[in-house]
């Protein structure tokens, strides 16, 4: 998906009017910059659910909006942390449902 398609898909699932230049995809995550919260980027896991909610947020300077050079130096750490936390959450929910 390109940024325009991501903006439409995510906008349909969140109810927000999203602009393509406020969206970045990295790994299995979509990062969204919202003018109301200029210092953070919301993180949505992929694939998108029917109703999308951000899993977490990160400081804007620790997101793909930081710039290509800056993001390249931190991307692996940021994505690994998001992945680990999200997978841990999913495992916890699964265990609760089994109990």
Residue 36's pLDDT is what? 86
Sequence ranges of the domains in the chain: 3-98
Please give the average per-residue pLDDT across 67-95, as a whole number: 95
For residue 47, cis peptide bond before it (omega within 30 degrees of 0):
yes
C-beta separation of 45 from 85 below 8 A: no
What per-residue confidence (pLDDT) applies to 1?
81
Does the reported pTM lie above 0.85? Answer: yes
pLDDT surpassing 90 at residue 99:
no
The answer to whether the CB of 53 falls within 8 A of the CB of 86 is no
> According to the model, what pLDDT value does residue 69 have?
95
- Please tell me the predicted confidence (pLDDT) of residue 98: 81
Adjacent-strand bridge partners of 42: 32, 57
Average of pLDDT values for 37-57?
A: 93
Query: What is the torsional sign of CA 37, 33, 79, 51?
Result: positive
> Which stretches does DSSP call E strand in 1-99?
23-26, 29-34, 37-45, 56-59
């Amino acid at each position: 998906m390109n940024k325009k398609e991501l903006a439409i898909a995510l906008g349909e699932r969140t109810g927000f009017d999203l602009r393509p230049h406020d969206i970045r995809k990295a790994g299995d995550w979509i990062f969204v910059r919202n003018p109301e919260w200029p210092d953070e980027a919301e993180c949505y896991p992929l694939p998108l659910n029917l109703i999308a909610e951000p899993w977490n947020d990160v400081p804007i300077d620790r997101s793909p909006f930081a710039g290509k050079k800056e993001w390249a130096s931190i991307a692996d750490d940021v994505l690994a942390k998001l992945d680990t936390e999200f997978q841990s959450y999913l495992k916890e929910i699964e265990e609760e449902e089994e109990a």
